[in-house]
């Protein structure tokens, strides 16, 4: 029988991280209507709540010259892998698939469509990052223990420097949120901080 309560091991949160803007990108994971709009098919309130935090980070990243990269979870009708788990969501071309209005991409931003949790799997993301000389990733978005964690893990296994502002990632519940941060800290040695602690230099 599983314990009713689980003690979360210590997680290191840094007060400040310096991110070199010339070699960095702010990655916005799956901030789409189906996840972050109240009328979305898989809406979670926490995904909505992080929108202003990500928006402020984006302003600072743009001002510093850092790149902005979005991932868009993308499925086609009758997806045989994820629809049995989650039901239909973010079907390409639908309103639910679009990035939320508050975080819409601007000219020059890069949008990567992905069909699985990991933004590197089956996409050109790694090639795009290396082409632009990007080695440092500030990763934000939804949800912490699924698409964010898988993308963070894949980035670290490819030897990118990864920073995660913990108030700019969302989860479906507190357990999933804490478990994801623990994995990022303990297993992948990610620099965890708060959004105000991210300094693009």
Mean pLDDT of 28-36: 98
- Please check the confidence at residue 85 and state whether its pLDDT lies above 90: yes
| Catalytic member of 72, 118, 136, 147 | 147
| Catalytic member of 34, 114, 118, 185 | 114
CB 48 within 8 A of CB 103: no
Residue length, the chain?
201
- Please check the confidence at residue 4 and state whether its pLDDT lies above 80: no
pLDDT at 125: 98
Say which residues have a Cβ less than 8 Å from residue 127's Cβ, sequence separation at least 6: none
- Please check the confidence at residue 115 and state whether its pLDDT lies above 80: yes
| Domain spans in the chain, listed from the N-terminal domain onward | 17-200
Backbone φ/ψ region at 136: left (φ over 0), alpha (ψ -120 to 50), beta: beta
- Please check the confidence at residue 182 and state whether its pLDDT lies above 80: yes
Active site residue 30: yes
Which residue has tokens 């994801």? 180
Mean pLDDT of 4-9: 82
Active site residue 147: yes
Q: How confident is the model at residue 176 (pLDDT cuts 50, 70, 90)?
A: very high
Active site residue 176: no
- Please check the confidence at residue 1 and state whether its pLDDT lies above 80: no
pLDDT at 7: 85
Q: Can you list the positions of beta strands (E) in the chain?
A: 17-19, 24-29, 67-73, 110-114, 136-142, 161-165, 169-170, 191-193, 198-200
Q: pTM of the full predicted structure? A: 0.96
Backbone φ/ψ region at 59: left (φ over 0), alpha (ψ -120 to 50), beta: alpha
CATH 3.40.50.850 fits 17-200, yes or no: yes
Q: What is the 3-state secondary structure (H, E, C) of 28-78?
A: EECCEHHHHCCCCCCCCHHHHHCHHHHHHHHHHHHHHCCEEEEEEECECCC
pLDDT at 191: 98
| Catalytic member of 30, 118, 136, 185 | 30
Average pLDDT of the residues of the chain: 97
d(CA 2, CA 146): 22
């Amino acid at each position: 029988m599983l314990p009713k309560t689980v003690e979360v091991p210590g997680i290191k949160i840094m007060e400040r991280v310096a991110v070199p803007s010339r070699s960095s990108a702010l990655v916005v994971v799956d901030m789409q209507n189906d996840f972050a709009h109240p009328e979305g098919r898989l809406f979670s309130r926490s995904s909505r709540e992080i929108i202003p935090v990500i928006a402020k980070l984006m302003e600072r990243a743009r001002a510093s010259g850092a790149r902005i990269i979005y991932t868009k979870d993308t499925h086609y009708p009758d997806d045989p892998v994820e629809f049995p788990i989650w039901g239909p969501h973010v079907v390409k071309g639908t309103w639910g698939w679009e990035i939320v209005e508050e975080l819409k991409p601007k000219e020059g931003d890069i949008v990567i469509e992905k069909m699985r949790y990991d933004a590197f799997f089956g996409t050109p993301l790694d090639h795009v990052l290396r082409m632009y000389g990007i080695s440092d990733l500030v990763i934000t978005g939804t949800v912490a223990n699924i698409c964010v964690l898988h993308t963070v893990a894949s980035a670290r296994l490819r030897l990118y420097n990864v920073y995660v502002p913990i108030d700019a990632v969302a989860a479906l519940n507190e357990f999933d949120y804490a478990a994801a941060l623990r994995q990022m800290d303990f297993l992948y040695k990610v620099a965890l901080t708060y959004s105000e602690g991210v300094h693009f230099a």
